[in-house]
Chains A and B, each alone.
Chain A
Amino acid sequence: MSQWLWVSEGHSRVDTGEIISAAGHAQSAVECAQSAMYLLAEPSFHAFAGAWGAAVSVPGAAPAAAASAHAERALSRARRDVEHLARCLQDYADWLTQASLIYAGAEGGAVAYTQACQVLEALGCSFAATSGSGFQWRTGLGLVTLLPGVIGEFQAGGLPKGHVPRGALTLQAALGDVTGGERGLASSAVGVARWWNDVGAALSGKSSGVVVTGPDGRSAWGTPTMVALGVQRYLPADGEPSDPRVTGALNRAQGAKYSRSSPTAMLAQLGLDSAGAPLQKRGQTGATNLPSEFRLGSNIITTPAVPAALLARVAASGSASAVGEVQILRHTRVSPVAPGGEPAGDGKKPPSKNGESQSWSVVVRGTQEWAPGSSNPQDMQSNLEAVGRRDSDQEAAVRLAMDLAGVQPGDPVEFVGHSQGGAIALNVAQDLEGADYNVVAVLTAGSPTGGLAADLQAPVLNLENLSDVVPSLDGSSATSANATSVFFDARHLPGSEKRNAHSLETYVAAAARADAEKELNPMAARVGSWGQARAQALGLDGQTRTEALYYRTTRAR
């Protein structure tokens, strides 16, 4: 099995120097095996055997010819074995090289990372000497205007085979170096966010919070501060003069035309059904186990049983230029009846009178708008505020959507987000955990998570493609107390050459492969155990009914 992912978690203990040394030894082993391989392939070894194999007509020569033929076969097998060994050793050396770079960057910062690169290069370890846009980045205008183009440049298969991708790690080190480390980067992002906000106000008018409208027609409005204080307003507000900006935002949200992608199609391309199970095992999972009435409603979906299926739900969130969307999955489970005739609870929260218990998945999509002054809160403004660890309109939108959906403090709730959505998910999760909400899990994919949610106790799974620059925009590694960061080389995923390094499909494919290898690969097992714990905490099983609720979001401006 090829090693395509690396894990960094809370209990990791690393002596980076030791791994760098190991990578050097592994590279020496590769060179020795290659030397042996070349020697075994030399024609002189085989010429005599061929000659004697053809010269068996003379009495007395037959035993020698037979011995030569035997030796020839043994040589061929030895050559094949050593060739295979050399290839496997090269994979191992690359893997150790990448591990040492990851840990050097994550634990020692930019200086240690640079030193690690120099030492590894001196040891002959192979990784591409990239000199892309990552080195040219600077904070401020240069950073934010370069972003969309740079993301496009880093393709999943962007480096030649045999080279370890390191564009994202290089960028992380460079960003930290330029801005003076993690705190400097956050401070720079805040400064740029303020400037960006001023530009947006000049172009499109001053923003005054965010309006969220739900599938049942209920709507709410609030600024990040109002939402944090719990004083958001529900619309229409009886007895109050309506703010034309709020009214206009509500009309805009309700009239938006969305385009959506299909999570089912995305998973089917990976050979999975919409629950995330292999298609050939379809009959064992998902909707087919549900009572028939649960399959009739238009918003009833197959319960996403595994991380890949959960992440694929992001694709179902709508996109429009001025209006964003937050998707909330309501999982309802009818508890079995206890011997006394009462529905059995889970021990933490009693089921309702009708025996139903609820849990929630909050699905947050990534950046949709890059220009300043957008009315869509899934924009660059929210990116800068998230990285700068400031409350954003998108966070307010998520909290308003949860409020409208009816998420209660005791209900188990998980968050999942791609790109910006992951950073927003982490920030909201930490805020709500501090407000006694029952946050059970967070999944981020391709998100800048460093410095965010440092006090979050819920288990966090961060997926980061090594060729994707976006997770490195934080300039540091993940900081959540219970975070497991999975770094992966997307070139090992089938069809990677067709996908962008930052695309949702790339991350869904990685999650699917990790899930498939959870019983074989110790690091993929971390993904499996996170998924298992999350499903258990949410009470997901064959009796769970899941409904997708979509909340439209737009700024009041």
Chain B
Amino acid sequence: MARAHVDRAISALAATHCAGWEGSAAAAARERLTELAALATDAYYQVNTAAMLCEEALAAQAAALPGVEGLDAA
């Protein structure tokens, strides 16, 4: 779910590009957009990595559960 939200944020961000805008403010906006795109890409990568690791951890837990005794179910 978090991945999907970040993905949608990136799509929305891409739609903020204003092709008809010229001048210093437009240049600043484009520079800011480039920075944000890099940030968003990195965030997406981190969320994706975390999701994969969570899945692996869940799989490891599932594999370990039958052999575990006395586990504190906190």
Contact = CB atoms under 8 A, between A and B. Distances in A.
Given A71-B53, A78-B50, A82-B43, A32 B6 contact: yes
Contact of B5 (A36, A60, A77, A99): A36
B15 A25 contact: yes
A88 B61 CA distance: 37
Interface residues of B, number: 55
A78 B47 CA distance: 5
Contact of B28 (A25, A29, A523): A523
Interface string B19-38: 11111111111011101100
Contacts of B35: 88
A371 to B, nearest CB: 41
A22 B30 CA distance: 12
Given A82-B47, A88-B39, A33 B9 contact: yes
- The 10 nearest A-B residue pairs measured at CB: A12-B23, A32-B9, A36-B5, A64-B60, A29-B12, A74-B50, A13-B22, A71-B53, A25-B15, A67-B57
A35 B69 CA distance: 38
Contacts of A64: 57, 60-61, 63-64
14 contacts: A9-B23, A18-B18, A18-B20, A26-B12, A29-B10, A40-B2, A64-B60, A70-B53, A78-B2, A78-B46, A78-B50, A85-B36, A89-B13, A96-B16
Contacts of A230: none
Nearest to A36: B5
A71 B42 contact: no
B18 to A, nearest CB: 5
A70 B13 contact: no
Interface residues of A, number: 65
A77 B54 CA distance: 13
A60 B69 CA distance: 10
A257 B44 CA distance: 66
A283 to B, nearest CB: 33
A178 interface: no
Interface of A: 3, 6-9, 11-15, 18-19, 21-23, 25-26, 28-30, 32-33, 35-36, 39-40, 45, 47-52, 54-55, 57-61, 63-64, 67-68, 70-71, 74-75, 77-78, 81-82, 84-85, 88-89, 92, 95-96, 99, 521-523, 525-526
A162 to B, nearest CB: 18
A13 B20 contact: yes
Contacts of B1: 36, 39
A15 B20 contact: yes
A431 to B, nearest CB: 29
Nearest to A60: B67
A81 B15 CA distance: 21
B43 A19 contact: no
B72 A54 contact: yes
A48 B57 contact: yes
Contact of A74 (B18, B19, B53): B53
A58 to B, nearest CB: 5
B20 A60 contact: no
Contacts of B46: 74, 77-78, 81-82
A89 B53 contact: no
B15 A89 contact: no
Contact of B13 (A29, A36, A57, A81): A29
Given A6-B25, A75-B54, A85-B9, 7 more contacts: A35-B5, A36-B3, A39-B5, A67-B60, A67-B61, A68-B57, A85-B6
Contacts of B42: 81
